[in-house]
Chains A and B, each alone.
Chain A
Amino acid sequence: MIPDRIIEQGTLTTRGARAAVEVRIPWYRALPASCIAGAGLTIDGVAAPTESLRWQMNGREFTFADMVDNTDEWWFPVDSAVLSGDLDIDPDAEHEVSVDLTLYIPYIVISDSEVLHIEEHDTKTMTARQEVAA
């Protein structure tokens, strides 16, 4: 629906062996954490290991397993979430960032037992910024 906005331009950061980027919801309405089914983070063609991925939203950090049953935290349409993973990248260099996102749309029922899910992708090029530990 709004896949061109998934990756927020200029938000790539690196901290030690981890990289993070801000992401926006490609849908017009808020969705609960339970409907954020999965994501992928790839930088310069290298995908972050799935088990290293973390999702930060509303000031809290989650694994994707944490979010399966969570209907209390919502991703609001104007808020950025932060997707991070184990990727050792050069700070201050330009990188091609790709994000894949799988969302469940909880009100569009497509059979007796399931609702619509969508898979969206975005790729943008940007310079990384080094974050230092607080």
Chain B
Amino acid sequence: MTALRQAQGPGTPIQGVTLYSFTRAFHGREYDLEGLIRKVAADGYGPGLEIIGFSSFRGFPDVDDAFAGWFRDLVDEVGLVTTSLAVNADIGIHRDRLLNQDELIAYMRRQIAAAAKLGFPIARVQISIEPDSMEALAPIAEEYGVTLALEVHADQYASHPRILALRDRYEKVGSPFLGFTMDWGATVSGFAPSLIEAYRRRGASEELLGKVVDLWDEFYQQGPPADQADHGQRFGRFIGLAAQNGRPDLGIDFGINGTGLFGPARVDDWLEIMPWVKHVHGKFFGIDENGEEPSVPVRDLVKLLVENGYNGAISSEYEGWHWNHWQSPFDIIAGEQAVQRSAAENAGSRMTTDAAAARTQLAAWLPRTEGANA
């Protein structure tokens, strides 16, 4: 299937952004939803627009006709293209028990319907949805004309047993509406320097910071964790390191970020699932003084996508906002998108940045259901 796509020529991924990148600005009431969408368009972070339903839409997943009309008109007016609506499987919404399968399917149906109503052709779902549930959701996805793209996110990675089990189920089910969202955080090449700087500002010693980087590098050399037990052991090593160096307060933070944000798989691991990659989170953490992402191999990842004929969208997903309070996310995201464009050109292609072209390209990239989502 990979060879088939190569025969079709290089891909031209659609440039875009997820509003998650601007979480601090939205949460801090610097921009409301309309203001943020207008800024994304005006500053050229699109044309692709990804939104998290429960972050940006009050009352989600209930969406009334007036709101849906207002939203679609706004997106059209400013020249953006809705790509993915990030939805959540809130399996633990009841304090005393987890949702059963029927409740989960009903919960997801409402969000898939919301995606269709708001004009998103993709719904990003998460790893808590297991193969049986994805199979049960396939006809619902088809009914609404919305592709379900399950996010492959650290501490998982493409060749992780849970992801391969999903891939194998997709193959068996055979629905073009089931796929994956590739999150670049699974294939990181270093502990983000901006997070090291944030720990420095919290008083961590250079000696401790050096050991944190060394420990992450050790895990990178070993490759990604084989299973959840291996993942847990690595988490524990970060906690132990903080405790042994007089900063037990930083241990959980080291563990969460060192294992859950900076996944140490190699870029070519994505080939395991490449034919099912329908959407991409261009996860990154910062841009250095040379204009490059120092810990995410953005150029290699874009090259991989181009060479494999990927014609979907890449949502730039800036995650450095958790700790970087001293730099504007807007400048940093512009910097990362410049790297993406340069990488696509170096690979003999380009990013799609024109809205009309992106709309046509995305429609051809994704499956359609006759009559639905019109």
**Contact call A114/B92, Cβ cutoff below 8 A:** yes
**Contact call A104/B27, Cβ cutoff below 8 A:** no
In the complex, which of the residues B23, B58, B88, B95 contacts A76, with contact meaning CB atoms closer than 8 Å?
A: B58
**Contact call B23/A107, Cβ cutoff below 8 A:** no
Nearest Cβ on chain B to A57's Cβ, whole angstroms = 13
> Which residues of chain B are within 8 angstroms of A34 by Cβ–Cβ distance?
93-95
CB nearest to B20 among chain A residues: A28
Task: Verify if B250 is at the interface (C-beta below 8 Å from A).
Answer: no
Taken residue by residue from 62 to 81, chain A's Cβ proximity to chain B (1 for < 8 Å, 0 otherwise) reads as 00000011010010111000
CB within 8 Å for A71 and B94 given contacts A28-B23, A29-B54: yes
**Cα of A108 to Cα of B93 in the assembled complex, Å:** 11
> Which residues of chain A are within 8 angstroms of B322 by Cβ–Cβ distance?
1
**Contact call A104/B92, Cβ cutoff below 8 A:** yes
Task: Verify if B29 is at the interface (C-beta below 8 Å from A).
Answer: yes
B47-69, CB < 8 A from A = 52, 54-55, 58-60
In the complex, which of the residues B23, B54, B128 contacts A30, with contact meaning CB atoms closer than 8 Å?
A: B54
Chain A residues with a Cβ closer than 8 Å to the other chain, count: 29
> What number of A-B contacts does a CB cutoff of 8 Å give?
73
In the complex, which of the residues A28, A76, A105, A108 contacts B52, with contact meaning CB atoms closer than 8 Å?
A: A28
**Contact call A115/B92, Cβ cutoff below 8 A:** yes
> Which residues of chain B are within 8 angstroms of A76 by Cβ–Cβ distance?
58
CB within 8 Å for A78 and B91 given contacts A1-B322, A29-B54: no
Task: Verify if B208 is at the interface (C-beta below 8 Å from A).
Answer: no
**Cα of A37 to Cα of B94 in the assembled complex, Å:** 11
**Cα of A32 to Cα of B54 in the assembled complex, Å:** 10
Task: Verify if A106 is at the interface (C-beta below 8 Å from B).
Answer: yes
CB within 8 Å for A68 and B98 given contacts A74-B59, A78-B26, A106-B90: no
**Contact call A68/B27, Cβ cutoff below 8 A:** no
A5-50, CB < 8 A from B = 5, 24-25, 28-30, 32, 34-35, 37
Nearest Cβ on chain B to A34's Cβ, whole angstroms = 6
The chain A residues found within 8 Å of chain B, CB to CB, are 1-2, 5, 24-25, 28-30, 32, 34-35, 37, 68-69, 71, 74, 76-78, 104-109, 112-115
Can you give 18 A-B contacts (C-beta < 8 A)?
Answer: A5-B27, A28-B27, A28-B55, A35-B93, A69-B94, A71-B93, A76-B58, A78-B27, A104-B95, A107-B92, A107-B126, A108-B92, A109-B92, A109-B98, A113-B98, A114-B92, A115-B92, A115-B98
Given A77-B27, A109-B128, 10 new contacts (CB under 8 A): A1-B322, A28-B20, A29-B54, A30-B58, A30-B60, A34-B93, A35-B95, A104-B92, A106-B90, A107-B128
